[in-house]
Each structure stands twice: as structure tokens, then as C-alpha cells.
Amino acid sequence: MKLKMIVAALAFAAAGSANAAISPSTTGNGELFLVVSDTTAGYSFVGDLGIAMDSFDASVNQSFVLTDWSQWSAFSTAIGGNLSNATFAVMAVDSTGTAAGADRLWTSSSAKYVVADDIAATKSAQLGAATTQADMLLGRLNTNTGTLGGDMDTVANGSAYSSTAETTTYWYNNVGDSLAAKLPFSQFTSASEAANFGFMVTGGTQSSLTLINYTEAAGQWSFQGGNLNYAMATAPVPEPETYALMLAGLGLVGFMARRRNAA
């Protein structure tokens, strides 16, 4: 993995370009990134998880240490050292063109307030507009243009943080509210709650009103201590009432079988 990063860095340097940490959607395999926003304090943070969409294993529990991102401590200090007013989302975007199925968005959403039907109501045109909007900001973050602090142009899995003064990179003003306007559900979740993680892809062209294809939550993201954790989805445990109905059904089946044998 480290060798691949070194080779990639050398390739970018040879081309005279920055080693952008978060692969933008136009690469065809965007990377996952964490966004944390505190609109009360007026700061936002973005950190690259270093996992491409097609490499992410949704069936494995994973954990990421927040202080591994160089800008997390500065962001945490700026918001007063706690996440009580913060919201977060984990995303990845992929847009290789305007053809049917070319747009993909992987995003967390509120497990408490957003239901699958809200997400499944998304149209291809809405998803296309959202991925375009997210990509515009990633382009600026990847070169640290207008950030308060960042190393995305030099460090693999880099990070950056911005304030309301950085009008081109402050996440909420540039993408947060714009995504909310473009998509029929909210991507951001209170940092004290868990967020469902789902995958979306256009069912039609980028400009069509075709309903997207949506995979229901593969797992959940949450903050615990100093970590960002991902927990794979597990089968729901039946309620006691469900067990009672199952037992009653089995008893009825047994009763009918005995009657047939007696006859």
C-alpha cells in the first residue's frame, strides 16, 4: 500500500501536478472522506479515509483514529474541544460522465430521521447535480486553495479545515446546504448519533428524472472516543412478540400434522 502511494506521488510530480489526497469522482473510483461541520463555531473539517469506493469492504468492521489526520487537533481546538454542536457525514463520489449509471454517491445519512424511501426517491438528475457540487469543493480542498490549514496537496490521506472566512472551502456553505437542496434527504448526522451508510447509482442519464438505484444501509458510522468507527450491518434481533408468533405458528403446524396422522 505504501509503495503504491509513493509511486502515485512520483507520477503526479512528474506530471507537474499536486498529489491530491482525495481522488475526485472523475477518476472513476473516488475515495471515501469524512466531513465534520460545526456551524455554531463556524468551522468544517475534511479528512481522506484512503479507501477507494471499489476497495471498501462493507462487511468488515473498521476504525479510524481522528488524530491521525494532521488537521484534526486544530479543528477540534477551533470548535472548543467537543463535538456537541457538530454534524458529520462519510462520503465518496464517482462521476465518469453523463451516461446512464455514470454517477455514484456513497454517503451516510441519519439513522434516526432518514428512511430508505427518502433516498430511493432521488432522481438521476438530482444525484448528478450533487456529485458535481461535491467535486467542485474537493478540487479546491485537494490543492488547499483557501483552507485555514491543510496538507491534501502533499500528504496521502491528508486533511484540511476551514472557517466561514474561507468562503470557497467552508464545507457547509459550499456543499452542505447545496447537497440538501439537490437531494431529497439530509446527509449529515449529529456526532452523538450513528449514521446509516448507503450506496446510490444513477438509473438513467445525468439529466434524466429516472429513479436511482439504491442499496440500503450496508452498515453504520459513528464517533466513539477518539475514533471514527464503521460497523457492518447485522440482522435485526426479533422482538419478543415476534418469537411468540413464531412459536404459536409452529404449534399450529404441529397440531394440524397430528390431526392428519390421526385421520
- pLDDT (tens digit, 9 = 90+) per residue, 135-148? 888 888 888 888 99
Count how many domains the chain has.
Answer: 1
pLDDT-derived band of residue 176, with 50, 70 and 90 as boundaries? Answer: low
- Structural domain boundaries, residue 195: 2-262
CA distance 20 to 153: 5
Which among 78, 121, 83 has a CA at the least distance from the CA of 210? Answer: 121
Give the mean model confidence (pLDDT) for residues 188-217: 94
* Residue 145 identity (one-letter amino acid): T
pLDDT-derived band of residue 208, with 50, 70 and 90 as boundaries? Answer: very high
Question: For 95-111, how does the pLDDT look when each residue is reduced to its tens digit (9 = 90+)?
Answer: 888 899 889 999 999 99
